[in-house]
């Protein structure tokens, strides 16, 4: 029988996260204070989890995953399979070998659980009463609600309003986990009230929701703010994806020539690729890396590499990253998790040094959702709208191989499933 699934035994699950900061060819530019206003670094040190802040600036190459947290990873279904998409290959008549990593199998439906569990584990260790956060697609808010539920902590979620309003079932799921959900901008915070005063029907943005979450944490003793992408420690927690994949490719007997991920702030892309990029930097392997984005928010594709705030209200320190501007307006798309102004500083540096290629797709999402349908009809699984961007890019590369006859090995990260996003597919594919 042809092998299509590479599974690792539980005791092969990573015991350490990989921190690429130790191996970067240039020092990572550090966060900066703006010229005016209060100290943002001091502010963050008050509202964030201490352990995460420590990890944020760590240059230790390997960071041990606490044993109790590894048990939670197992409870959430890690290690996750790497699959070969042989039926898709046949359908495309491509000589390329196509692989996909199954982050869609997480309890809440995406990779976000990998860092949510880590952050809640540390919040609980530090004696916190609760956490708060922003969410765009809703996957991060659900993952954090789930992790909070496991740790018996309160979870408050500020959810970008226009997505909050159409993802009714995901909202219910978040509430079933015990999450307290607010459409953002909300009247819970000064930032939200100010925006609503000017534009009562404001659709919201991730930048605004981050500002609201930060303000909420500042005003609620015992509540810490958690971020689901962009930051160094978040990418590091996500490296369990790539570390498992390295072992799985070794079992498969072939190695990827090109690795692809969709890219919002960069956490699933980084989690999947950084362990491989680390080996490229050391001259141990050859591989290319491709980030798939929407033209709605082409941060790492078309943004400027400069210092910018990570939130709308400018409450965070300035980060050196590819940015569209922290107040940029980005047209709504159904793959809303890709709609953020800034790209992770680590990945921005690697892009600037030429290690990451990018590809953007039109705002109407038609070609992207067509790829999701082809995948569903060949492999049988429904990707999240965001993950469909990675699939589209992998299919495009596979079709190039068909023209050139190259037998390349392509791999993409399927960052989530789309069972709670059916409405978006219905609209775009006119079903």
Ligand X SMILES: Cc1ncc(COP(=O)(O)O)c(C=O)c1O
Interacting residue ranges for ligand X, rule: CB under 6 A: 110, 136-137, 139-140, 229, 262-269, 337-338, 384, 386-387, 415-416
Round to whole Å and give the CA distance between 33 and 317. Answer: 5
Q: Minimal distance in Å, beta carbon 389 to ligand X?
A: 8
Q: Minimal distance in Å, beta carbon 138 to ligand X?
A: 7
Residues in the chain: 431
Nearest to ligand X of 256, 266 (CB atom): 266
- Whether the CB-CB separation of 25 and 282 falls below 8 Å is answered with no
Nearest to ligand X of 92, 213 (CB atom): 213
Nearest to ligand X of 141, 192 (CB atom): 141
Give the residue closest to ligand X by C-beta: 337
Nearest to ligand X of 186, 268 (CB atom): 268
Write out the two tokens for 118.
């880590």
Nearest to ligand X of 73, 140 (CB atom): 140
Round to whole Å and give the CA distance between 142 and 417. Answer: 13
Q: Minimal distance in Å, beta carbon 175 to ligand X?
A: 18
Round to whole Å and give the CA distance between 235 and 425. Answer: 29
Q: Minimal distance in Å, beta carbon 49 to ligand X?
A: 18
Round to whole Å and give the CA distance between 167 and 368. Answer: 20
Q: Minimal distance in Å, beta carbon 337 to ligand X?
A: 2
Round to whole Å and give the CA distance between 290 and 395. Answer: 13
Q: Minimal distance in Å, beta carbon 229 to ligand X?
A: 3
Round to whole Å and give the CA distance between 141 and 222. Answer: 19
CA dihedral defined by 208, 213, 217, 218, rounded to 10 degrees?
A: 0
- Whether the CB-CB separation of 232 and 21 falls below 8 Å is answered with yes
Nearest to ligand X of 128, 171 (CB atom): 171
What percentage of the chain's residues is helix, strand, coil (to nearest 5)?
45, 20, 35
Nearest to ligand X of 264, 345 (CB atom): 264
Helix (H) or strand (E) holding 102: strand 97-102
Q: Minimal distance in Å, beta carbon 418 to ligand X?
A: 8
Round to whole Å and give the CA distance between 77 and 80. Answer: 7
């Amino acid at each position: 029988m042809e092998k299509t699934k590479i599974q690792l035994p539980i005791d092969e699950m990573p015991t350490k996260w990989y921190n690429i900061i130790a191996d970067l060819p240039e020092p990572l530019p550090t966060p900066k204070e703006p010229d005016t206003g209060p100290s943002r670094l001091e502010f963050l040190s008050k509202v964030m989890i201490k352990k995460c802040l420590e990890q944020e600036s760590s240059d230790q190459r390997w960071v041990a995953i606490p044993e109790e947290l590894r048990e939670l990873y197992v409870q959430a279904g890690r290690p996750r399979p790497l699959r070969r998409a042989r039926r898709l290959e046949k359908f495309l008549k491509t000589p390329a070998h196509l692989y996909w990593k199954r982050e869609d199998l997480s309890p809440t439906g995406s990779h976000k659980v990998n860092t949510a569990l880590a952050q809640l584990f540390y919040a609980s260790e530090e004696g916190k009463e609760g956490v708060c956060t922003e969410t765009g697609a809703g996957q991060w808010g659900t993952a954090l609600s789930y992790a909070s539920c496991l740790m018996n902590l309160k979870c408050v979620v500020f959810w970008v309003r226009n997505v909050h309003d159409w993802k009714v079932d995901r909202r219910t799921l978040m509430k079933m986990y015990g999450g307290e959900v607010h459409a953002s901008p909300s009247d819970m915070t000064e930032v939200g009230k100010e925006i609503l005063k000017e534009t009562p029907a404001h659709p919201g943005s991730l930048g605004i929701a981050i500002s609201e979450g930060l303000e909420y944490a500042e005003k609620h003793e015992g509540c810490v703010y958690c971020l689901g992408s962009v930051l160094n420690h978040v990418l590091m927690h996500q490296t369990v994806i790539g570390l498992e994949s390295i072992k799985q490719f070794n079992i498969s007997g072939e190695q990827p020539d090109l690795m692809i991920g969709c890219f919002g702030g960069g956490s699933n892309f980084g989690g999947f690729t950084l362990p491989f990029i680390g080996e490229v930097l050391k001259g141990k392997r050859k591989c290319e890396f491709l980030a798939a984005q929407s033209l709605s928010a082409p941060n790492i594709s078309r943004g400027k590499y400069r210092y910018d705030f990570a939130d709308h209200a400018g409450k965070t320190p300035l980060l050196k990253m590819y940015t569209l501007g922290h107040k940029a307006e980005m047209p709504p798309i159904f793959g809303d998790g890709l709609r953020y102004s800034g790209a992770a500083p680590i990945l921005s540096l690697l892009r600037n040094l030429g290690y990451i290629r990018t590809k953007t797709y039109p705002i109407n999402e038609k070609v992207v959702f067509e790829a999701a349908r082809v995948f569903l009809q060949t492999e049988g699984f429904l990707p999240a709208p965001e993950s469909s961007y990675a699939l589209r890019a992998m299919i495009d590369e596979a079709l190039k191989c068909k023209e050139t006859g190259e037998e390349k090995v392509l791999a993409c990260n399927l960052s989530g499933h789309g069972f709670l996003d059916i409405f978006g597919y219905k609209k775009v594919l006119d079903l």
